[in-house]
Amino acid sequence: MAWADVAAFLPLILLVVVFFGVMYFFMVRPQRRRQQEHNELIEGLKRGDRVITAGGIYGEIDYIDEETVVLNLEGGGKLRVLKNSIVRKQSESE
C-alpha cells in the first residue's frame, strides 16, 4: 500500500479518534464521577441517617449490614433494602 492510500484514510481515522474522545468526555467520564459519588454515599451511611431509596421510599437507617440496610419507616414499620438502592440522603427540609 502506498503512502498516498494511507493519507486518504487519515481524515477518517482522525474523525473516529475525535468521536471516541468526545464520547469519553461526555458519557463515560461523568458516569464514573456519579458512580464514585454514589460509592462515597454508600460508604458514609450510618445509623440515624434519613435516606431515600431508588423506589422513592423515605426512611431512617436502623441497622447496616454488609449488603443491606434496615430502614425505620414513618408508620413504624421496618424494611430491609440493598445498600445500593439508596440514592441520596434526605435534606432537612424534606
Question: Which pLDDT band, with edges at 50, 70 and 90, does 71 fall under?
Answer: very high
Whether this model's pTM surpasses 0.85: no
Report how far residue 87's alpha carbon sits from residue 94's, in angstroms, rounded to the nearest whole number: 15
pLDDT at residue 92, as a whole number = 74
pLDDT at residue 1, as a whole number = 57
* Averaged pLDDT for residues 21-25: 90
* Averaged pLDDT for residues 24-36: 91
Report how far residue 35's alpha carbon sits from residue 93's, in angstroms, rounded to the nearest whole number: 26
Average pLDDT, the chain: 90
Residue 94 pLDDT exceeds 90: no
